[in-house]
Structure 1
Amino acid sequence: MKRSVSTLGIVMGLGLLPAACGPASQLEGEIDGPGLRAMTGTQGSTGPNGIPKLAWHTWKVTIARALHSRLLLEKGAIDPALLATGILAEDGGEQVFAHTVSCAVAEDTPVPYNRKKLAYVGRGMVSGVDWAKSGLTDLQITNVLECVVAFVNDKTKGVNILLTGPEVDDKEKEDHTSFIHREALWCASISGGTVVVDVYPTQSFLDGCGIDAKAALEERYCHEVGTCDLNYMDLDKFKDNCVGDEATGQYSCGGKACTMTWLEDAPAWCEPPLTSPPPPPPNPPNPPLPQ
């Protein structure tokens, strides 16, 4: 898949990312092993860090409703009903919209808008989806939401992220061997009138940085902790709910295709813990006083 300079990618702070799942025969390597597996020719899409947390939680229901109820374009222009929500009237909403176009609109498809006299450009990051031309199934909508969720982070600069999953497209066919750190698996749904996300941290995420994974993932995704509809799923739930292929990073949980994020080997991510310095030598005895 070609990268577009006008397309936004995934913004994740180092070490504050997504999870995974796999069948019992494959989970041993994930749970008990180091959790470092290079990607070799697997399906996936890459991008850099970014959607502000407040913007996502302000506009996520608007986006979910629009994906469910209407086509993006009407007579070659953005649907007036979507514009009427005000999502493109402020920068945060525009960030959410741009990422949604990257995920849900076919590669190189322009989505014109006059406020900045620029067109948003699709990347087709979710397989078989083109919101500009056809309606989406419920499963496709949740996969688009996962793709957008992977960008949510207040950090505006960060590292490259790889997305993998049964519904993540890869027209680039690039070598992904530099992405060796699994972060977490994200599974989105629409429930109770809002977007709900189950997040499964991987063992490498839990072990690699010596941090509180639940707190780190909540900090990355939630504008206000406890109000963001994020369900933290531990390793037991991961083993019970999820099946997949460790080699390709493609997993489903509860029978639904989900989306995993990976990081490259960055110095600030999983540095080994500092060792305590050796104790200082004992003070030498005081010299005798002169006679």
Structure 2
Amino acid sequence: MQAIVIEDKQLVPREVPDPEAGAGEVVVDVTAAGVNRADVAQRQGHYPPPPGSSPYPGLECAGVISAVGPGVTGRHVGERVGALLAGGGYAERVAVPAGQLLPVPAGLSLTETAALPEVACTVWSNVVDRDRLRKGQTLLVHGGGSGIGTFAIQLGHALGASVVTTARASKHDVLRRLGADLVIDYTTDDFVAATRDFNGRGADVILDIVGAKYLSRNIEALAPDGRLSVIGMQGGRQAELDLGALMAKRGSVSSTSLRARPPADKARIVAGVTRAVWPLIEAGAIRPIIETTMPLADAAEAHKLMESSDHLGKILLTP
């Protein structure tokens, strides 16, 4: 099969052996795979795959099951699925633990489904499962124009929260249509003051892809009893934390990574997303936002677009 391999920090198409379905796994023939910032970090040498997982990039895909391994029940060859991966999505086929498969939402194509597993599982596991966002609260989403951001805005809105987000001015109109109540141009405006002015108290939950650069300001932006989840390090990995400021807010800070979690943890998250989020997608409250779909062989160009941050929503690759 063809896959995209990393050689000297470059993405190169190569012929590689087909994967086999091990115990508890299925093989999926990939229709489309999502591109994520984590893939860029892996290519650059900063985010190696977990031990035992595929060395090829790609953390989500959708396609058709072509083989079922020992011990797998309730799955069959020919079934259309989405999949949360630890790697290997940039390929024609990938082996996946059966617990990490998601159904194709009613009304969506396989290609559209490929835009959902990683963002849905990341956002739900942080914003809902860990940080308990509820109706009437305020969610602040950094990087609103990203795949994570466009999904988080829609999920927060669907749950009845007020949604504040940061993004370049060119993306503001689309993000408002997705459900953002306030969109802040992070290049010119202070998101701390804007969030406080919005509701008089700050954000109950903050979903942050920036990391160190925003840490102190995120603490300022928290409402009393607020929760900050850091899921990215685009703005660096080390920063000073003012514990006094955090304690004064009775706030909490958590940081999570989805990729390296054990399969059982991922299966629990996938089950929660299937139960709580997929009905919202099928009802039309959330939809995949796709900037472009590119051939698998053009993965290097897809990474250039990702690194430019000029895209809105997801970038997909098709074998």
- Common topology (TM > 0.5): no
Query: Which one has more relative contact order, counting CA pairs under 8 Å at least 6 apart?
Result: 1
Larger relative helix fraction: 2
Higher Rg: 1
Is the strand fraction higher in 1 or 2? 2
TM-score, scaled relative to structure 2:
0.26
TM-score (norm 1): 0.28
